[in-house]
């Protein structure tokens, strides 16, 4: 291990350019461990805890709480305890002298594009063109940006596709059928258009039900599954969330429903709420959400039942759930077939893949 190591502003998501250091969780002089939560960082999407990429003694906090800095900027310095203060000062000075942030708006990676799969899909493809592809399927009312903390990490050695499901984001809004089965057929159309004969599917919530349905209906197309808090494993769902998400048109009234997605409401930013409102204003978006909600949910009950069919899935399957999920209770992961690996993550709610991204990425990378 190098004697002195930098901690820099992470790039959470392919489009992230800067972040706010909202809170330091450790003091100078503290010994920090690999993976320890050492600060909170706020992006335009969500606030999140930052897990240390290094181990050692925190020698400097270079950026203060509330400061906004670009991706790659020096946040702090960690070293072995016997490194002299002057050496740490020299390290900081040389880092700051040589650091050149990327210009705002300058393309630094893949960008969203549209693809015709019988309907218009918006997708973001990252990673090399070789290796087993991962296909990321978001949940109800979300879009491909829900994978901002996951896609880049998973795409280091394989292609990773994130798409907007029909009726969502930048994909086509017009729909005749909002059922899980119909959405699964649409995803297969995307796979055909994208040349994905087989893929590892990762689905969140409604996207989890869609992924499992594809694995059941066309097993030859699915190499494995990670289902994150999937729809279909129990009868309960927070119907007030579904209705409030669709109906509320003002940020102040919508915010409490968005906060239901996370264990810690402080993670929800004003920008996150505004992004949801912006999406709902798109032509056809509300009608599509209502169609999908009516097809799959009735009050506090799910219409789609998957639990009794799980044993028929041939592909290796794991389920990840946030212990404090207020939309779909984590108890739905109990009593599943023995071949399905279940991981419940403390301190996380329904969007566990955003709240505890490092743990979820590790679990997916280990099997995908």
Say whether both 182 and 317 belong to one domain. yes
Asked whether residue 147 is domain-assigned, the answer is: yes
Give the pLDDT of residue 44.
77
Residues 224 and 295 in one domain: yes
What is the reported pLDDT for 278?
92
198 and 222 assigned to the same domain: yes
Residue 13 is inside which H or E element, if any?
A: none
- Which among 39, 70, 98 is the end of a domain? 98
Same domain, 225 and 342: yes
Asked if residues 235 and 220 have their Cβ atoms less than 8 Å apart, the reply is no
Confidence (pLDDT) at 90 = 96
Dihedral pair phi/psi, residue 291, rounded to 5°: -60, -45
Residue that terminates a domain, selected from 54, 73, 98: 98
The arrangement of strands across the sheet holding 67-70 comes to 47-51, 37-42, 18-24, 67-70
The pLDDT score that the predictor gives to residue 180 is 98
Residue 174, domain extent: 113-365
- Three-state SS for 89? helix
Identify which of 256, 230, 254, 252 has the alpha carbon closest to the alpha carbon of residue 317.
230
Model pLDDT, residue 60: 95
Domain-located, residue 81: yes
Q: Report the domain count for the chain.
A: 2
Divide the 368 residues of the chain into consecutive groups of 10 and give the mean pLDDT of each group: 88 81 95 92 83 93 94 95 94 94 68 92 95 97 93 93 96 96 98 97 98 98 98 97 96 96 91 92 94 96 95 96 98 95 96 92 83
Residue 108 lies in a domain: no
Residues 339 and 216 in one domain: yes
Q: Name the token pair of 305.
A: 């039942």
Element at 112 (helix H, strand E) = none
Interior angle at CA 202, CA 154 and CA 360, nearest 5:
55
Q: What is the CATH number of the domain that holds 54?
A: 2.40.50.100
Helix-strand-coil split of the chain, %, nearest 5: 30, 25, 45
> What pLDDT does 101 receive?
86
**Domain identity same for 48 and 123:** no
Domain boundary among 98, 131, 147: 98
Number of residues that this document lists for the chain: 368
Query: Both 75 and 180 in a single domain?
Result: no
């Amino acid at each position: 291990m190098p004697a002195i190591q930098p901690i820099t502003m992470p790039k959470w998501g392919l489009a992230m350019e800067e972040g706010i250091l909202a809170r330091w969780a450790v003091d100078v002089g503290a010994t920090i461990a690999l993976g320890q939560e050492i600060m909170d960082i706020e992006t335009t999407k969500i606030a999140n805890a930052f897990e240390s990429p290094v181990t050692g003694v925190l020698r400097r906090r270079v950026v203060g709480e509330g400061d906004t800095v670009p991706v790659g900027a020096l946040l702090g310095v960690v070293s072995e305890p016997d490194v002299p203060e002057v050496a740490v000062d020299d390290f900081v000075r040389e880092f700051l002298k040589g650091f050149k942030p990327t210009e705002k708006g300058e393309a630094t990676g893949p960008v969203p594009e549209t693809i015709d799969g019988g309907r218009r899909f918006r997708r973001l493809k990252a990673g090399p063109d070789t290796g087993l592809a991962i296909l990321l399927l978001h949940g109800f009312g979300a879009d491909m940006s829900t994978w901002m903390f996951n896609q880049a990490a998973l795409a280091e050695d394989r292609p990773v596709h994130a798409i907007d499901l029909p009726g969502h984001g930048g994909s086509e809004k017009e729909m005749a059928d909002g059922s899980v089965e119909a959405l699964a057929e649409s995803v297969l159309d995307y796979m055909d258009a994208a040349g994905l004969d087989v893929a590892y599917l990762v689905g969140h919530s409604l996207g989890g039900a869609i992924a499992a349905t594809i694995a059941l209906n066309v097993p030859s197309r699915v190499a494995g599954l990670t289902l994150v808090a999937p729809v279909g494993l129990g009868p309960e769902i927070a119907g007030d969330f579904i209705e409030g998400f669709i109906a509320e048109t003002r940020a102040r009234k919508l915010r409490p429903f968005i906060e239901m997605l996370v264990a810690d409401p402080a993670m929800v930013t004003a920008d996150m709420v505004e992004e949801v409102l912006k999406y709902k204003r798109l032509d056809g978006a509300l009608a599509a959400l209502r169609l999908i909600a009516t097809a799959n949910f009735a009050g506090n009950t799910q219409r789609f039942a998957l639990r009794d069919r799980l044993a028929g899935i041939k592909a290796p399957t794991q389920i990840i759930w946030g212990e404090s999920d207020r939309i779909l209770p984590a108890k739905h992961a109990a009593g599943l077939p023995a071949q399905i690996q279940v991981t419940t993550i403390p301190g996380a709610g329904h969007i566990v893949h955003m709240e505890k991204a490092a743990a979820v990425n590790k679990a997916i990378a280990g099997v995908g």
